Amino acid sequence: MSEEISPPVKDIVPEGAFFGGDYDPVRIAALKKIIEIGNRVSGESPQVAEMYKDTNLTYLEIAEQIIPEEVSISAGVAARAIGFAIRNLLPEEEVTEITARRRALNLEKQKQAMGEEGFRAHQQAASRKRHELHGVDVAAMLEGRGRIAWTDDEKRVVHELCKQKDFQHDKGSIAGTPNYSTIAFVINELFHDGKEIRYGNSVGSLVRDSRRNKS
């Protein structure tokens, strides 16, 4: 996400809060814009949740239908805003289930394109490469499985976001409680280049573990 975001950074990033850290100001400006557009989409166009559930459309393809004017400004920001809106609208368990189904479908397509033997050879080569690079390093093995250890900065931001109304549920019996799914989205944008490393359930586990350790 390298394009400049308009208006200027100083007009988008608020003083204080978690945006006060040592982060790339352009990335922070983009993230603020993503959240702003995502909240608007979830309020004005809740059908994006059904579009994501019932089709194989990507975030960008949904954005092209729902917010084409934002796509024309920044396709990357618009696509990520759709992802944020979906996490506002759907329960974490459902998002996880849909993500798993889509990944399985993509793997199946890859397998069909490469053939059974070619796909197996590809997976084995990737495994050997990881072993050559990392040996039996535990942290590397965890990273290879998508289980990257939490950093202190990530933990700090999670706990700060949990206190902010913009990252809490606003309806039903869970109103006022942290929306772990949208918090995970922000953590991934800030610390993992937008890759889906953190999920709502892992953020929730982190928060609950921290509370137990304090009690």
The pLDDT value recorded for residue 141 is 45
Mean pLDDT of 181-185: 91
User: Which one is predicted more confidently, 158 or 119?
Assistant: 158
- Cα–Cα nearest to 99, from 59, 129, 130: 59
pLDDT tens digits, residue range 16-72?
444 445 567 777 888 889 999 999 999 999 999 999 998 889 999 999 999 999 999
Mean pLDDT of 170-184: 89
> Whole-prediction pTM value?
0.68
Mean pLDDT of 127-142: 56
The pLDDT value recorded for residue 121 is 73
Percentage above 70 pLDDT, the chain: 77
The pLDDT value recorded for residue 135 is 57
Please report how many Cα atoms fall inside a 13 Å half-sphere around the Cα of residue 116, on the Cβ side.
0
Compute CA distances 186 → 50, 67, 69, 154, whole Å.
Answer: 23, 21, 23, 10
Least confident of 13-17, 110-114, 184-188: 13-17
Supply the mean pLDDT for the chain: 79
Highest mean pLDDT among 21-35, 77-91, 106-120: 77-91
